[in-house]
Amino acid sequence: MTKEDFQQKLKDLKLSLTDFAKLINTPYATVQNWTRENHTPPSWLESWFDNYEKAKSFDSVKDEVIKLAKLFNKE
């Protein structure tokens, strides 16, 4: 993952550097360094982002299922 890919992924997921650093329990300065010249983001970020996206999708589907279940239980 390039630093450009990293920055784009954060943008796509609507995560700030601060929020992302908190999510992965890493100092902000470390995460910020991954966006600077002559620094490369760690290789594990791709799989982390994949899992994060899947978890967000799962949460969205789960919330919809719960809404539908509540709707059907009222009838």
Tens-place pLDDT, residues 27-71: 999 999 999 988 999 999 999 999 999 998 897 888 888 888 888
Q: What integer pLDDT is reported at residue 4 of this predicted model?
A: 93
Cβ contacts of 22 within 8 Å, gap of 6 or more: none
Instruction: Say how far apart CA 18 and CA 27 lie, in whole Å.
Output: 9
Q: Which amino acid is at 34?
A: W
Instruction: Say how far apart CA 67 and CA 32 lie, in whole Å.
Output: 39
Structural tokens at position 46: 């791709």
Band of pLDDT at residue 75, cut at 50, 70 and 90: low
Instruction: Say how far apart CA 8 and CA 1 lie, in whole Å.
Output: 11
